[in-house]
Amino acid sequence: RVPLLQAAGKKNSFNLLGLTETELKEQFVRGDGPGGQATNKTNNCVVLKHIPSGIVVKCHQTRSAEQNRKLAREILQEKVDLFYKGEDSDVFKEKKASEKKKQEKKRRAKENLERKKHFKEMQQLDKK
């Protein structure tokens, strides 16, 4: 069993489960959404299925079929890793860390806004 992809574009993604081509079923379909003729007449949307887990990924992020193939495999590898490892997955830990960072940033912004509001109130009281 030889891993197909080692990294999926993440910093700490070297611990992801490996995929093999024999476990994958790949299809090229027409994409949907905005884009007109470029989208409606070309089969550059990639649908990739991981047969053992049943996870399906559809990727139509670029106009290039080859780039979409690569991106679909990266996304699928992350999803398969998350499916099998659950909370022990690096992908899960990374998402939790980014959520925590986002909440902290939001909290700091709210505190800053309150400080500014309080400062303006104090300035108006000093003027009177």
Mean pLDDT for all residues in the chain: 82
Residue 6's pLDDT is 38
Report the distance separating Cα 26 and Cα 43, nearest Å: 12
Residue 105 near residue 78, CB atoms below 8 Å: no
2 CA to centre of own chain: 25
Highest mean pLDDT of the ranges 5-9, 95-99, 111-115: 111-115
Report the distance separating Cα 125 and Cα 117, nearest Å: 13
pLDDT in tens, 84-96: 888 887 778 888 8
pTM value > 0.75? no
Q: Which helix (H) or strand (E) holds 127?
A: helix 90-127
CB contact set of 75 (below 8 Å; sequence gap of 6+): 8, 57, 59
CB contact set of 52 (below 8 Å; sequence gap of 6+): 23
For residue 1, pLDDT over 50 is answered with no
Residue 34's pLDDT is 72
